[in-house]
Amino acid sequence: MKITRRSAALSGFALLAGTAMARSALAQQGSFHGIGEGLEDFWLATDAYIFGYPLVTMEMTRRIITNVAEPVGTRGPMGHIIRLRSYPDASFKDVTAPNADTLYTSAFFDVGKEPWVLSIPDMKGRYSVMPLLDGWTTVFQVPGKRTTGTGAQTYAITGPGWKGTLPEGVKEYKSLTSIVWLLGRIYCTGTPEDYAAVHTLQDACKLVPLSAYGKPYTPPPGKVDPSLDMKTAVRDQVNRMDAVSYFKLLCELMKTNPPAAADAPHIAKFARIGIVPGQDFDESKLKADVAKRVPEVAFDKIMQQFKANPALKNENGWAFTTRTGIYGTDYVMRALVTAIGLGANRPQDAVYPTSTADAEGKTYSGANRYVMRFAKGHLPPVEGFWSLTMYDDQYFFVNNPLDRYSISPRQNLQVNPDGSTDLYIQKDSPGKDKESNWLPAPAGGFILMLRLYWPGETDPSIINGTWSIPAARKVG
């Protein structure tokens, strides 16, 4: 299933789905996409699909990433730390919108039976962020340079309902779900020398079950399921699931990954279509004609949030939100971030402005050339770092002759005589003298993402609106 919107009619109905008034009116009409009676159930099922999209996607991501016997490349068994030794390349499809600025140090682990202890070494002043996500993609804790400093630190991640005593010097971080994803990022310039320095830090990160803390411990090998599709992107695997299979998995997952207390009023409505937390899915309550169109329409509604969600700002062709990582009851925003940037940080740690069109509102094409000009003194204001990343229209890296997927100050950007800085966004080289400022584009459509790590909240700042992003303008 493509991310692109299907048609004006379908998009219109997806937007109408957001209000009870529209649903009531539609329910009194004849049929919609082959659905006769039961439109109220259809919209309920659409809401349930959107509500569960992060948990289902997180589980499918976990299955694919951990379906190996030993850590290799971007994958590793449950409870093993995966240490990416270099930036992902264009073949990487495990997670949408990957970055090429940090080395991931990640792990999936299950805290349902006992806590796990995470030990982080002294980062010696280097920027790092070690967010911990629960099964619903909420960043429930985020140790790192901004929050806890760069010294050595140790945490016990405990699961739902756990009560006990922790060793001295170990701080508790409580997860509301059994699934926990450590998605750590350590800044790296990408040089051989800096890769080696970061590898040493990665090797010093430790993750062990509480029962093994302070003892010699070797994580057991993983169990490989040969039936899993290890080639198709996770998002595509989720999007092609039929509604019944999707809701069966959602209900199974909610037994050990319960929704938050604030979700109770919203999810109570889903009992009518067979979805009750803690219970198996009752598919007899979901009519076949209702189930048939739910995944497609629900995903379209998710992607419509680029224009429909008031939490999304749009400046000079750049859409962004300062509501990532912690979503409350904004379930559509949570699903959108899952679809295009699973694992997003809290806004205090990173903001991700995304652009699909140039200054004139026309979609980007590699057939054109674009320039993004930062006026003197107007480069992104960050305490951490910033970069501009190139993606294809599915939010994956683009093959190019420089193997350059993002551009940032580490390319030693040239500055114009007037103090401004131009970034050249195009398929072909702008010339050897300008290649330091060149972000290679594909031949077809593409998407740009600006990463602002630790953007800060004092002036100027993107968080409080005192700094704005320049548009990418078509030239020539």
Same domain for 322 and 433, yes or no, is: yes
Q: Which domain holds residue 91?
A: 68-212
Same domain for 54 and 139, yes or no, is: no
| Residue recorded with tokens 């957001």 | 18
Same domain for 362 and 411, yes or no, is: yes
Query: pLDDT averaged over the chain?
Result: 91
Same domain for 54 and 76, yes or no, is: no
- What are the pLDDT digits (tens) for 367-391? 999 999 999 999 999 999 999 999 9
Same domain for 190 and 47, yes or no, is: no
- What are the pLDDT digits (tens) for 26-67? 333 434 555 555 789 999 999 999 999 999 999 999 999 999
Task: Work out how many domains the chain is built from and give that number.
Answer: 3
Query: Confidence class of residue 281 from pLDDT cuts 50, 70 and 90?
Result: very high
Q: What is the CATH number of the domain that holds 42?
A: 1.10.3360
- The residue type at 233: A
What is the chain's alpha carbon radius of gyration, rounded to the nearest angstrom?
Answer: 23
Counting residues of the chain whose pLDDT is more than 70, the rounded percentage is 92
State yes or no: pLDDT of 14 exceeds 80: no
d(CA 352, CA 393): 16
Same domain for 74 and 55, yes or no, is: no
Same domain for 340 and 272, yes or no, is: no
Does 226 reside within a domain?
no
Same domain for 361 and 469, yes or no, is: yes
Same domain for 402 and 448, yes or no, is: yes
How many residues make up the chain in this entry?
A: 476
The pLDDT of residue 362 is 96
d(CA 87, CA 104): 8
State yes or no: pLDDT of 23 exceeds 50: no
More confident position, 13 or 177: 177
Does 217 reside within a domain?
no
Beta strand pairing call for 350-351 and 385-391: unpaired
- What are the pLDDT digits (tens) for 311-357? 888 899 999 998 899 999 999 999 999 998 899 999 999 999 999 99
The pLDDT of residue 408 is 97
E-strand ranges in 188-268 read 206-209
The pLDDT of residue 2 is 35
Same domain for 74 and 26, yes or no, is: no
- What are the pLDDT digits (tens) for 73-98? 889 999 999 999 998 889 888 777 88
- The pTM of the full predicted model, rounded to 2 decimals, is 0.86
Report how far apart, in Å, the C-alpha atoms of 16 and of each of 23, 255, 339 are: 7, 32, 21
- What are the pLDDT digits (tens) for 216-275? 999 999 999 999 999 998 999 999 999 999 999 999 999 999 999 999 999 999 999 999
Does 100 reside within a domain?
yes
Same domain for 373 and 458, yes or no, is: yes
